[in-house]
């Protein structure tokens, strides 16, 4: 079974913290992690570089024919980026409760986006920047997270973004105005288009 090539990464392109080579390596790792799970085999998870061995939060988002097929991640840096990508790719493929597990037939057609996160920091609602910040809103033991690209994709304004993050947490839409903790993070997002 062949892996899709990261077609959105142009040769020589460098933007953000991660090089073209590192991006391509992480995207291949995500695919390999899914394929190895389908084949019932383990993959070695030694990190190829010191940079990719650094602990980072990451979300892996899977698409099939342009539709969301799974999204799972770690908000906080609980393991090396390399290991976190492998784990979240498998989880997005097989453990996202909104979807049936990915099948052998679907796997070659999956497109992967990775969102590598900064550590979330407390922020005031009026400081939230659409297209720059992802949000974590928490209150009373509930927590909701939306990645920075979500409000852009849906053409939301700041208030709608805050309301929708509250909704994702299972909180009233106006919880952000009534004492909920608002944290923001940035993400370097790349993938296959």
Q: b/e map of 13-30 (b: 16 or more CB within 10 Å)?
A: eeeeebebebbbbbbbbb
The domain over range 20-117 is classified in CATH as 3.40.1000.10 = no
The model's pTM is 0.83
Average pLDDT over residues 74-92: 94
Residue 20 has phi, psi (to 5 degrees) of -60, -40
Q: How far from 5 is each of 8, 142, 191, CA to CA, in Å?
A: 9, 38, 10
Question: pLDDT (tens digit, 9 = 90+) per residue, 132-169?
Answer: 999 999 999 999 999 999 999 999 999 999 999 999 99
pLDDT on residue 178: 96
Taking the CA atoms of 79, 3, 25 and 189 in sequence, report the sign of the dihedral they define. negative
Query: Is the pLDDT at 14 greater than 80, yes or no?
Result: no
Are 60 and 87 within 8 A, CB to CB? no
Smallest CA-to-CA distance from 51 within 116, 2, 101 is with 116
DSSP symbols for 18-42: S-HHHHHHHHHHHHHHHHHHHHT--
pLDDT on residue 12: 37
First CA to last CA across the chain, in angstroms? 20
pLDDT on residue 15: 63
Smallest CA-to-CA distance from 136 within 164, 172, 98 is with 164
Distance between CA 126 and CA 121 in Å, rounded?
14
Domain extent listing, the chain: 20-117, 121-188
The domain over range 121-188 is classified in CATH as 3.30.1490.150 = yes
The residue ranking higher by pLDDT, 14 or 110, is 110
- Lowest mean per-residue pLDDT among 38-52, 61-75, 94-108, 135-149: 38-52
The residue ranking higher by pLDDT, 46 or 41, is 41
Tokens linked to 8: 């959105």
Query: Is the pLDDT at 5 greater than 60, yes or no?
Result: no
Domains 20-117 and 121-188 in one fold:
no
| Percentage of residues in the chain having pLDDT higher than 90 | 84
Query: Is the pLDDT at 64 greater than 60, yes or no?
Result: yes
Distance between CA 80 and CA 54 in Å, rounded?
5
**Cβ partners under 8 Å of residue 30, min gap 6:** 60, 85, 86, 88, 89, 112, 114
Question: pLDDT (tens digit, 9 = 90+) per residue, 84-125?
Answer: 999 999 999 999 999 999 999 999 999 999 999 999 999 999
């Amino acid at each position: 079974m062949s892996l899709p090539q990261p077609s959105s990464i142009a040769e020589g392109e460098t933007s953000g913290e991660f090089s073209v080579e590192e991006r391509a390596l992480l995207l291949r790792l995500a695919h390999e992690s899914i394929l190895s799970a389908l084949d019932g085999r383990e993959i070695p998870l030694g990190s190829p570089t010191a940079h990719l061995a650094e602990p980072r939060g990451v979300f892996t988002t899977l698409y099939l024919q342009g539709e969301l097929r799974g999204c799972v991640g770690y908000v906080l840096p609980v393991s090396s980026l390399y290991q976190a990508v492998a784990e979240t790719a498998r989880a997005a493929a097989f453990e996202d409760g909104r979807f049936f597990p990915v099948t052998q037939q679907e796997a070659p057609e999956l497109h992967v986006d990775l969102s590598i996160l900064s550590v979330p920091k407390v922020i005031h609602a009026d400081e939230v920047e659409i297209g720059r910040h992802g949000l974590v809103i928490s209150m009373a033991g509930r927590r909701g997270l939306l990645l920075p690209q979500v409000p852009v994709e849906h053409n939301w304004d700041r208030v709608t973004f805050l309301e929708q993050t509250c909704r994702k947490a299972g909180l009233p839409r106006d919880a952000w105005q009534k004492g909920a903790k608002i944290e923001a993070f940035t993400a370097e997002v790349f993938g296959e288009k």
